[in-house]
Structure 1
Amino acid sequence: MSAPLWALITVPPATGTVLAIAGRRADRAAPAVGVAAAALALVLAVHAAFRQPSVSAALLSGLPFGLAADGLSGVLAVTVAAVTVAVLLFSVGDIGPGEARARFFGLMLLFSGAMLVTVTATTLPALLMSWEVMGATSWALIAYWWQDTVRVAAAGTAFLTTRAADLGLYLAAGAAVAGGRTAALGDLDRLSGPWLHLATAGIVVAALGKSAQLPFSFWLSKAMQGPGPVSALLHSATMVVAGAYLLIRLGPLLAAAGWGADAVAWTGAGTALALGLVAAAQRDLKQLLAASSCAQIGFMVLVAGVGSTVGGTLQLIAHAAAKSLAFLVAGYWLTWLGTKSLPELRGAARRRPAAGIAFTVAALGLAGVPPLSLWAAKDVLLAAALERSAGLYAVGLAAAALSAVYSAKALWYVWQPRSDRPSRPDLPPYARRTGHRLPASLALPFAALSLATVALSALVLPPARQALARTLGVTGTMPHAWEFALSAVLAPAAGAAAWAWGARRVPLPTPVIRWVSGWLGLERAAHAVCVRPVQRLATALAAFDDRVLDRGVEGLARGTVRLAGVMNRHAEAAVDGAVQGVAAVSRGLGRLARRPQTGQLHTYLAQAVAACTVLAVVLVLVR
């Protein structure tokens, strides 16, 4: 019963490790091996989702390594494995034979395996280990083209930002062990006193950082420097949704803390609205998709705060299918045309209809236009938000309308009449590949994910939602008819307005437009609030080290040398004289001791007899 679950979390990372270690020698076999391992993981994930096994192994005293494929984690494991198969199929054609394919496919499998452990982890040690591996492999994948210093710097920014937030997970682990002597995620809501609030704060910070929510959203913009398949996997079903998934799973902890649920709900709603505006202001396709990922995941975070597990799960799996499809098409256009600028992508959908149709399916799903609508998921979570707060519902509804705006904007550009070929490619020469037709290996994941997005539209049906609720073992608030009617009108209306507006300039001051398109200045704010103060502190400590500590050490050394000189001049002479006096006395005593020595045995005997006689006489006289 437990063997398939162990195999599920072992096959992808073990295969990935072998490929990464083998290096260029395994480049030819890497695509086939990588896709086969991902397909096997998908089969194992489906088996685990139906059987719902759980396993545990001793790791540290009182801190076991626990896994389980329950309702929520089973659904997510299947989602992660399915998206990984599609992305790796696309990578067979996108990552050419001249590149380090073994390293790429190996890292992708490690990345996917870490997410599989994350969604099935039931104890803090398992979660912490997978959390760390995800962060490390994401850095390596974003910096896959390591010859480009810009990409390496972007990977460093993403890694350091998420690592700073990850410290919260260690705070939560420490609070759990100190306050409850527990390592089980399901027992965190039973902590008492300050330990409960420390654990909640740590989980919230770590989750918001991993899922690129405010104020950590800017790192996702830097992550766009990685290859297209990396962006597709990272944004859709792995690292960026890991934090939202963790918050949904630990909803009882947020509720127990009191303040946690409201803080998370408003942060998610604020991120969905603010980053929706950022997405609508972009003129770079990958940046638009990156900002839209923050916004869409904001709805999942909102779900965690209002307690709608069904809505969050619907949003997560539907977003995974649509966003992975959108990023794969964007990566294909970037590889083919050498640009990701929306004005220079005019006509891209017309020139490659297969990619254009696939992108349209994904964009309509994100926009919430029936029947390819992810709005149904938003309807469920917004119904729960309305029960919590009318203001929360209004913010979420406005953010949902923005989904249609930026989706329609992207579609407007790629379906416009053909423009001239861009003169300045966005890819470096060693990473640019050109072609004249869509390879079959790229069309297959386009078609598969398009069908998946269409199939997920069936989740709008009440029976499907109720079946999912039974699978998850939860009950939730379902939307009223008027909420469905409102969304059915609002989404097409917002999309139509954005399409009619086209490429015309928004009537706002230029500084405001630059501020919004520049991701609200979040990176500059992070540098001002965190990076520069730390650098100043480091400079001050370095100056203290140079001017105080170093001088103190040098002064102590000089004083020690002077003391040694004084001792040499004064104290050493007295010690030498004392030693010489002792030696002279010892020599005198030695000479006295040698006088009775002749070397003749009978003389020693006579001396001994004489001495004994004298002692006998003395004893007689004394008595």
Structure 2
Amino acid sequence: MSDASWMLWLLVGLPAAVGAVLAAIAGGRRPGRPPEVDTVVGPPAAREHDRTPARARTVDRAAGPVAVAVACVVVVLAFLGATSRPAVSAPFLGAVAGGELGLAVDGLAAVMVPTIAVVTLLVLVFSLGTADGELTGAVGAGRARFHGLMLLFAAAALLTATATTVPTLLLAWEVMGAMSWALIGFRWSEERRVSAGLTAFLTTRTADLGLYVAAGAAVAGGGGLALDRLAAVAPGWRDVVAAGIVVAALGKAAQLPFSFWLSRAMEGPSPVSALLHSATMVALGGFLLLRAQPLLAATGWAGALVAWLGAISAVVLGIVALAQRDLKQLLAASTAAQLAFVVLAAGTGSLIGGSAQLVAHAATKALLFLAAGVWLALLGTRRLDQLAGVARRWRVVGWSATLGALSLAGIAPLSLWATKDAVLASVLEDTRPRVPAAGLLYAVALVGAALSAAYSGKILAMLWSTRLPAGADPVRPEGDARPGAARTVPLVVLATGAVVLGALALPPLVSWFAGTVGASVPGVEWPSLIGAAVLSFAVTAVSVWVVRAGRLPEPGWARHWLGLEEAAHRLAVRPAFALARALDAADRRAVEPVPLAAATLARRAAQTLARFDVQVLAAAVSRAATGVRALAESARRPQTGQLHQYYVQAVVVATAAIALLVASALVR
């Protein structure tokens, strides 16, 4: 345990403790008639029915500033931890090597922890200016509970990033999944939001089973539960560990075939989408693969498989993003497509490219989701055709989102230009683990990068359009048409990050960044960087022209996320329900009659015993009691209290005794 261990406990424990308190003491509306709330945004339309207690309203008002203050402390602790590198452990499974609850800020965590902390702070600041209707529109829900859940979610993400053992990772993984369910379905009075939360939770939980399989295989293989020792597990068991971790990570990162849950997660409030999709749960799926890179390389097959899955996901989900007509759905698909480059980096061993991509993507995607939240609050719509020209109406939001979209496209010199190229370069580098058909893999990944520019161009074309597309209805702003500082300042800060963070993958910062992560310094190929910049610019320009001309194809199969959710229902959900119904029928026909028959026999035996008890035993006892009572009456009659009668009785008894003695003597 290091001298700075208190810092690590406080880093994770402070937001967890404050979040738990806020969520526990949060008050909502008393049971009764709920207010009539717009299903998208907006304040309650019937405030006369708001019967929220005064104490609960006070807690709600204070919750936001308290959460922001805690997030500020967490940011300071995160940067201090990144420089001092604390480590701490607590006993848990003493009989198993690596079974303790271990936390440490190592090289990868030193990059991820400050990213999580800063993005969480900016999202919480943004939520201070979010309309009441999105955070308090549900019966029994309020700002205090929202901010409490957000802090708990951030604490679980920080615990995931600093976990050094499988038990710690499992604890953080479970809490993070539970908080995502609570936040996506936060407005639980609306069925579609609750359904979305359940879909996300059950899908990721299904993939999470891989972690449990990996833990069991690690123990069976003799390698213990320390994350940095998983590559030393015995062959055979090591393959099972790698497969389990890959499945769990792909589920959290919304890679194929688990991607559809990310689409449903768009039903959550905009701050939730911004935090979940940028630096926490989805990003940490890719982060886990980066941390497990030695294990992937040791198996001989997992690295290549992960690399190909990343490249294919980047292409397929890029097509899904390009086909979307809903801004948040486009951003959701692009999240999975961009994190596919992190998955690709984990497969090829590029810790520099993968971690730089995580940081740059966190700033870019948080920016775009928060900008979408501003327009959703102002206009009440997420449809791209109805958002035409919004960048011209709100310039600060518009220019911030534009920088985010240009970064997403990979336009030089913005952040994702250099990080994506660093990942692509790792595919062909001789110093990286070789991947079969590396040239083809590079070509597929390059198509994924080009698609990034295409769907980013679609966003730009709509944001700066001078006219609505044909058939689109104009939308007027709702409420205050000017977003306040709480909503614009985080956008400006994130836009700055989207511009500059790509320098982490460029000289001279790449040497410092490699030292921080603990990886070798990769070579920077300027021809490749320039070629990537030209390709991204060309594809973005063509995409803007095609969208403005109304010629961009939007196939339904891609717009509906490849039908993955329907396929999951057909292959898993419906068979599970059919099996449950069959088991229920079998239980009713075969199993249930046995205990019912036993119960019937027991009831009949009890009835027989009851009759025997009443008719035989009770009657015998009653007759015996009657006889005793009669004998007692007979014995009581001579007791008259008259002395002469007692003398007569004594004479009779003496005479009888003498007669008995005489008879006895005669017999002898």
TM range (shorter): 0.7 to 0.9
Instruction: Pick the aligned partner of 2:222 from 173, 180, 187.
Output: 180
Residue correspondence of structure 1 range 36-51 to structure 2 within 5 A? 36-51=69-84
Which residue in 2 is equivalent to 1:168? 210
**Is 1:416 paired with 2:465?**
yes
Residue correspondence of structure 1 range 97-176 to structure 2 within 5 A? 99=136, 100-176=142-218
Which residue in 2 is equivalent to 1:585? none
More displaced 10-residue stretch of structure 1: 446-455 or 266-275: 446-455
**Is 1:547 paired with 2:583?**
no
Which residue in 2 is equivalent to 1:451? 496
* Structure 1 residues 257 and 183, CA gap change in structure 2 (3 angstroms): same
More displaced 10-residue stretch of structure 1: 195-204 or 336-345: 195-204
**Is 1:348 paired with 2:384?**
no
Instruction: Kindly provide the amino acid, as one letter, of the partner of residue 445 in structure 1.
Output: P
Which residue in 1 is equivalent to 2:353? 311
Which residue in 1 is equivalent to 2:42? none
1:10-57 alpha-carbon deviations (Å, 9 max, x no partner): 111111111111213411111111111001000000000011111111
Measure the CA separation in 1 of the matches of 2:327 and 2:538: 22
1:125-176 alpha-carbon deviations (Å, 9 max, x no partner): 1111111111111111111222211111111101110111111111111122
Measure the CA separation in 1 of the matches of 2:607 and 2:17: 65
Which residue in 1 is equivalent to 2:632? none
1:242-280 alpha-carbon deviations (Å, 9 max, x no partner): 111000011011111222111111111111110000001
Instruction: Pick the aligned partner of 1:94 from 121, 130, 136.
Output: 130
Measure the CA separation in 1 of the matches of 2:468 and 2:322: 22
Measure the CA separation in 2 of the matches of 1:136 and 1:516: 29
Kept after mapping to 2: 8 A contact 1:34/1:106 = yes
**Is 1:27 paired with 2:55?**
no
Measure the CA separation in 1 of the matches of 2:343 and 2:506: 23
Q: 1:555 Cα deviation (Å)? A: 3.2
1:555-592 alpha-carbon deviations (Å, 9 max, x no partner): 3444556777899999x99999xxxxxxxxxxxxxxxx
Root-mean-square deviation (Å): 2.9
Which residue in 2 is equivalent to 1:523? 565
Residue correspondence of structure 1 range 265-414 to structure 2 within 5 A? 265-387=307-429, 388=435, 389-414=438-463
Measure the CA separation in 1 of the matches of 2:315 and 2:256: 11
Measure the CA separation in 2 of the matches of 1:217 and 1:206: 13
Q: 1:465 Cα deviation (Å)? A: 1.3
Which residue in 1 is equivalent to 2:482? 437
Kept after mapping to 1: 8 A contact 2:253/2:282 = yes
Instruction: Pick the aligned partner of 2:547 from 502, 517, 525.
Output: 502
* Structure 1 residues 418 and 441, CA gap change in structure 2 (3 angstroms): farther
Kept after mapping to 2: 8 A contact 1:309/1:476 = no
Which residue in 2 is equivalent to 1:471? 516
Measure the CA separation in 1 of the matches of 2:608 and 2:61: 75
Kept after mapping to 1: 8 A contact 2:126/2:486 = yes
Structure showing the higher helix proportion among its residues = 1
Q: 1:480 Cα deviation (Å)? A: 2.4
Residue correspondence of structure 1 range 594-605 to structure 2 within 5 A? none
Measure the CA separation in 1 of the matches of 2:292 and 2:472: 48
Measure the CA separation in 2 of the matches of 1:313 and 1:233: 18
Q: 1:186 Cα deviation (Å)? A: 0.6
Q: 1:485 Cα deviation (Å)? A: 2.5
Measure the CA separation in 2 of the matches of 1:128 and 1:491: 39
Measure the CA separation in 2 of the matches of 1:178 and 1:185: 15
Measure the CA separation in 1 of the matches of 2:190 and 2:610: 62
Measure the CA separation in 1 of the matches of 2:588 and 2:499: 65
Measure the CA separation in 2 of the matches of 1:239 and 1:500: 35
Which residue in 2 is equivalent to 1:253? 295
- 1:59 aligned counterpart, secondary structure: coil
* Structure 1 residues 557 and 329, CA gap change in structure 2 (3 angstroms): same
**Is 1:70 paired with 2:106?**
yes
Kept after mapping to 2: 8 A contact 1:276/1:295 = yes
Which residue in 2 is equivalent to 1:79? 115
More displaced 10-residue stretch of structure 1: 258-267 or 36-45: 258-267
Kept after mapping to 1: 8 A contact 2:409/2:417 = yes
Residue correspondence of structure 1 range 227-266 to structure 2 within 5 A? 227-266=269-308
- 1:56 aligned counterpart, secondary structure: strand
Which residue in 2 is equivalent to 1:4? 7
1:198-243 alpha-carbon deviations (Å, 9 max, x no partner): 2111111110000100000000000000111110000000000111
1:542-566 alpha-carbon deviations (Å, 9 max, x no partner): 1101111122333344455677789
More displaced 10-residue stretch of structure 1: 304-313 or 457-466: 457-466
Instruction: Pick the aligned partner of 1:492 from 521, 526, 537.
Output: 537
Measure the CA separation in 1 of the matches of 2:607 and 2:166: 61
Q: 1:373 Cα deviation (Å)? A: 3.9
- 2:92 aligned counterpart, secondary structure: strand
- 1:29 aligned counterpart, secondary structure: helix
More displaced 10-residue stretch of structure 1: 147-156 or 544-553: 544-553
1:368-411 alpha-carbon deviations (Å, 9 max, x no partner): 11122412111111111124311111111100010000001011
* Structure 1 residues 457 and 261, CA gap change in structure 2 (3 angstroms): closer
Kept after mapping to 1: 8 A contact 2:386/2:473 = no
Matched length:
577
More displaced 10-residue stretch of structure 1: 285-294 or 484-493: 484-493
Instruction: Kindly provide the amino acid, as one letter, of the partner of residue 397 in structure 1.
Output: L
Measure the CA separation in 1 of the matches of 2:576 and 2:371: 40
* Structure 1 residues 528 and 506, CA gap change in structure 2 (3 angstroms): farther
Instruction: Kindly provide the amino acid, as one letter, of the partner of residue 426 in structure 2.
Output: A
Measure the CA separation in 2 of the matches of 1:357 and 1:73: 32
Q: 1:502 Cα deviation (Å)? A: 1.4
Kept after mapping to 1: 8 A contact 2:356/2:505 = no
* Structure 1 residues 433 and 137, CA gap change in structure 2 (3 angstroms): farther
More displaced 10-residue stretch of structure 1: 465-474 or 400-409: 465-474
Instruction: Kindly provide the amino acid, as one letter, of the partner of residue 382 in structure 2.
Output: K
Q: 1:531 Cα deviation (Å)? A: 0.7
Measure the CA separation in 2 of the matches of 1:402 and 1:283: 16
- 1:180 aligned counterpart, secondary structure: coil
Measure the CA separation in 2 of the matches of 1:265 and 1:377: 16
**Is 1:56 paired with 2:89?**
yes
Q: 1:68 Cα deviation (Å)? A: 0.6
More displaced 10-residue stretch of structure 1: 463-472 or 77-86: 463-472
Measure the CA separation in 1 of the matches of 2:278 and 2:117: 12
% same residue = 50
Kept after mapping to 2: 8 A contact 1:337/1:422 = no
Measure the CA separation in 2 of the matches of 1:28 and 1:356: 29
- 1:436 aligned counterpart, secondary structure: coil
| Uncovered stretches (5+) of structure 1, i.e. residues with no partner | 427-431, 577-623
More displaced 10-residue stretch of structure 1: 239-248 or 469-478: 469-478
Q: 1:477 Cα deviation (Å)? A: 3.8
Kept after mapping to 1: 8 A contact 2:415/2:503 = no
Kept after mapping to 2: 8 A contact 1:251/1:261 = yes
- 2:61 aligned counterpart, secondary structure: coil
Measure the CA separation in 2 of the matches of 1:481 and 1:424: 46
| Uncovered stretches (5+) of structure 2, i.e. residues with no partner | 27-55, 137-141, 430-434, 619-668
- 1:67 aligned counterpart, secondary structure: strand
